[in-house]
A = this chain, B = another copy of it.
Amino acid sequence: MADKVDILAIGAHAGDAEISSGLALCHHVNLGKKVAMLHLTLGEKGHKEMTPERYGELKRTEAEYAAKVISAKVYFLPYKDGELPVNDEVKFAIAEVIRECRPSIILGHWTKSIHKDHINAALNVPDAIFYAGIAGFRMKNPAHYAGTMYYAENWEDREDFVPEVYLEVTKDDIKLWEEMTSKYALFRGEVVKFPYVDYYRSLARVRGPETGYEYATAFMLPSGGHRRRVQSFL
């Protein structure tokens, strides 16, 4: 069994976890926490010139380099870009990773997206958390219940996304995140023209002041996540 981590970030394609949950990961790494990333596909169809096979290999290598920057364990599932299904095979595979690295917190895609793999990632994760947490489901690793899930803010998953939990990040966190994301040709601007790093850095400067911080990265809560129980209002 692997070492226990504090946070597991799950992305549809290699790069998704780093770019949209990455500031939160770097922030916690700088606080001394342990993190892991799970890529459900390599996102290998996104290159105009390279074949999926070749770009997939490159993405895998990039993902490993990126993970190394934050000393993260990195997991891959063998699904193909654009073809991530919603079914028990995927859910149990994610559940096994959860049981393996035993996170307290899971970060992932919001359920509404312009990309079908993002939607399907979001639809698989809650059941995976359920399967991982119930001992009655026999798997390689013993049951582990990852109690808390947050949806990451992602420019492709904006429909009905409302920022609810603002996590402060510092300039040092941003620097570490820039180093991590620079391992991907995609984020260095060599694949498509979307300015990923600038976009999310600017977004951190927007979310910060909204809640009294200099920089922040924002997440949404799952339904029911607003509920609080208290024994006093004071």
Contact = CB atoms under 8 A, between A and B. Distances in A.
Given A24-B233, A233-B28, A116 B127 contact: yes
Contact of A229 (B7, B52, B212, B224): B212
A33 B221 CA distance: 32
B203 A206 contact: yes
Contact of A81 (B105, B136, B195, B206): B136
Nearest to A27: B232
Given A202-B206, A233-B148, A166 B223 contact: no
Given A82-B137, A209-B194, A233 B127 contact: no
Interface in A130-178: 130-131, 134, 136-137, 148, 150, 155, 158-159, 163-168
B202 A216 contact: no
Given A104-B234, A136-B82, A229 B202 contact: no
Contacts of A216: 229
A5 to B, nearest CB: 11
A82 to B, nearest CB: 6
A57 interface: no
B230 A165 contact: yes
Contacts of A199: 205-206, 209
Given A45-B134, A226-B226, 19 more contacts: A28-B233, A31-B234, A52-B136, A83-B88, A116-B127, A116-B130, A155-B209, A155-B210, A159-B223, A164-B226, A164-B228, A167-B232, A167-B233, A198-B209, A199-B209, A202-B205, A202-B206, A211-B229, A221-B226
A213 interface: yes
A114 interface: yes
A188 interface: no
Looking at A27, A28, A205, A229, which has the most chain B CB atoms within 10 Å of its CB? A229
Interface in A2-37: 6-7, 24, 27-28, 31, 33
